[in-house]
Amino acid sequence: MNGHYVGKDLVHYGSAIVLDPDQAYAALDHSARKNIRKAQNAGFDIQRCSGTTRELDALRSLWYYPDDPNFPAELAAGEILYLAYLDGELAGGMVLIPVGRHLFLNNLTASERGKRNQLQGYLLWHAVTDLSDSGFRYIDIGVSYRVNLQRFFTKWATFRYPVIFNVPELNPEIRFRPFRQLPNVSAARADANVLLRVFETKAVTLVPSIELARRIVNDRAEIWTETRNPGAGGDYRILDLTELFPVQYGAAVLGLELSPETLWEKYGCYDHFKQQYLMNCLTLPDWTVKSIAARRTANYQRFQTWFEREDVQIEACVDWVDGFTFGCADSASLASRFRSFGVEVRCNGNKLTLPCHQELSEQDIEYVYAIYRGHLNLCSEWRSTGVKGTIKLTGS
């Protein structure tokens, strides 16, 4: 086998530090605070520099691999360089790159003397205090598949985020329709009031599919609305139950109660066993419209907690959640990435809508955000240096 195995196809966790000194210091690990005090006592002089060729070359000389193609030859607009000196001698430095509303830690290095005096962590802390009024929200410290480097990142994190870079061998399927596995209805028995409990009306006709529901309403004189929102107004509505419940088939005509004989003789669409199965499903716990609405709203809020840190425009949550929608600059490439990871997505201009139904778990939502975060994280664009270290699983 040539080379080394590279996975990066599981949800891993990156580290970030908020650009709020009080909040960050309160959240930091005790050992990180101790390292800040040690570096302060050492007397480092940290300067924000313009990024001349001479400055970058000097910092490159301290980098673990001076020929690294990922080390910047010059700074682009908005990029930030800090250099740290001890007794007039360059002891280390850091390069930060703006990514939307946050800064990405592109390079962080120190001389042996700088390392002994905890300079690398102190550079991060200096940036937190120096950039607290910059408008950026946090520094993305990064994610590593090297145990010791990941331990360092975690030590300086005030929050962690999920991230995945490569498509897994087997993708989960995250779709707009909530069906994922067969519900257990072996002990369920429908009663006469099940439709009233679920839809808050007894005037309901269940049919095997949305196409058959359309056939019925198109034959009638009343004005009908087809909606994904079961709480929408109007006396006559049709719902695709596969968009509402975790079922494989079924539709509901609200505002109309037809007998089995009428369904069969006039419309040719009565299926006794499917109707009984759907009725039994509707007796399961939490299969009411109110319960589903509450669980979808909770999942929307989970999505929002992750995405609100980023440079996206999140649409406000509504009474009935049909998806999580946000606007972003690179919607087309993001949509393609989501689909390659098994996530269905709707794209409308610069807006993306992701599935947000009641059957999604917290792990599902983390996975979806991890896909986005893998697109955002600049280390996904790094070229391999071919330099292989040794594995060390112990130590600080």
CATH number at residue 97: 3.40.630.30
- Section 297-316 average pLDDT: 96
Across the chain, mean pLDDT equals 91
Kindly state whether residues 257 and 150 are assigned to the same domain.
no
Kindly state whether residues 324 and 359 are assigned to the same domain.
yes
Residue 351's domain spans which residues? 289-376
* Highest mean predicted confidence (pLDDT) among 145-149, 282-286, 368-372: 368-372
Confidence at 285, pLDDT banded by 50, 70, 90: confident
Kindly state whether residues 225 and 99 are assigned to the same domain.
no
Confidence at 166, pLDDT banded by 50, 70, 90: very high
Q: Report the alpha-carbon distance of residue 82 to residue 134 in Å, rounded.
A: 15
Kindly state whether residues 22 and 92 are assigned to the same domain.
yes
170 within some domain = no
Helix axes 260-267, 210-218, angle to 10 degrees: 80
Kindly state whether residues 16 and 156 are assigned to the same domain.
yes
38 within some domain = yes
Kindly state whether residues 160 and 206 are assigned to the same domain.
no
CB–CB of 150/144 below 8 Å?
yes
What residues are paired with 206 via a beta bridge? 252
Q: Is the dihedral of CA 341, 351, 247, 297 positive or negative?
A: positive
Confidence at 233, pLDDT banded by 50, 70, 90: low
61 within some domain = yes
What tokens appear for 124 in the block?
């991060």
How many domains, in total, are found in the chain?
3
- Section 216-241 average pLDDT: 85
Q: Report the alpha-carbon distance of residue 281 to residue 189 in Å, rounded.
A: 9
Among 143, 142, 138, 160, smallest CA distance to 29 is for 160
Domain boundary (254, 282, 310) is at: 282
Kindly state whether residues 272 and 327 are assigned to the same domain.
no
Considering only 58-62, 171-175, 269-273, 373-377, which range has the smallest mean pLDDT?
A: 373-377
180 within some domain = no
The percentage of residues in the chain with a pLDDT greater than 90, rounded to a whole number, is: 78
Among 97, 96, 110, smallest CA distance to 61 is for 110
145 within some domain = yes
Kindly state whether residues 43 and 113 are assigned to the same domain.
yes
Kindly state whether residues 19 and 159 are assigned to the same domain.
yes
Among 221, 225, 291, 219, smallest CA distance to 254 is for 225
- Section 79-100 average pLDDT: 96
- Section 322-337 average pLDDT: 95
Kindly state whether residues 274 and 313 are assigned to the same domain.
no
Q: Write down the pLDDT at residue 4.
A: 66
CB–CB of 339/345 below 8 Å?
yes
188 within some domain = no
| Domain at 311, CATH number | 3.90.1150.10
Is 381 a residue whose pLDDT tops 90? no
Kindly state whether residues 149 and 43 are assigned to the same domain.
yes
362 within some domain = yes
Q: Write down the pLDDT at residue 229.
A: 82
Kindly state whether residues 350 and 237 are assigned to the same domain.
no
Q: How distant, in Å, are the alpha carbons of 103, 223, 226 from that of 138? A: 6, 53, 44
395 within some domain = no
Among 287, 289, 277, 292, smallest CA distance to 208 is for 277
Considering only 191-205, 326-340, 358-372, which range has the smallest mean pLDDT?
A: 191-205
Q: Write down the pLDDT at residue 191.
A: 86
Domain boundary (233, 257, 282) is at: 282
pTM assigned to the model = 0.88
Q: Report the alpha-carbon distance of residue 194 to residue 339 in Å, rounded.
A: 37
